[in-house]
Amino acid sequence: MKKKITMTLATGLAAALGATILFQLPVRQAQAAEGESTGLSFLTYTADGKIVRPEPSLYRKWVYVGTPLTPNDMNDGEASFPEFHAVYMDPISFASFEKTGVYPEGTVLIKELSAVGAKEASSGTGYFMGEFTGLEITVKDSVRYKDEPGNWGYYSFGHKYPLKDEATMNRTASCNACHEKTAANNAQNLSKDWVFEQYYPMLSAARAALKKK
Contacts with a copy of itself, residue ranges (CB under 8 A)? 56, 60-61, 63-64, 66-71, 74-75, 79-81, 83-86, 88, 91, 114, 117-118, 121-132, 178, 181-182, 196, 198-202, 205
93: amino acid identity, one letter: S
Comparison of 42 and 200: residue with beta carbon closer to a copy of itself: 200
116: amino acid identity, one letter: V
d(CA 82, CA 133): 8
Return left, alpha or beta for 42; rule: phi > 0 is left, psi -120 to 50 is alpha, else beta.
alpha
Least CB distance from residue 53 to a copy of itself, whole Å?
Answer: 15
Least CB distance from residue 164 to a copy of itself, whole Å?
Answer: 19
d(CA 34, CA 29): 9
Comparison of 114 and 151: residue with beta carbon closer to a copy of itself: 114
d(CA 59, CA 42): 9
Q: Which of 142, 157, 156, 134 is nearest to 193 (CA)?
A: 142
Least CB distance from residue 89 to a copy of itself, whole Å?
Answer: 11
Least CB distance from residue 155 to a copy of itself, whole Å?
Answer: 16
33: amino acid identity, one letter: A
DSSP 69: B
Comparison of 40 and 79: residue with beta carbon closer to a copy of itself: 79
Comparison of 9 and 210: residue with beta carbon closer to a copy of itself: 210
Comparison of 80 and 188: residue with beta carbon closer to a copy of itself: 80
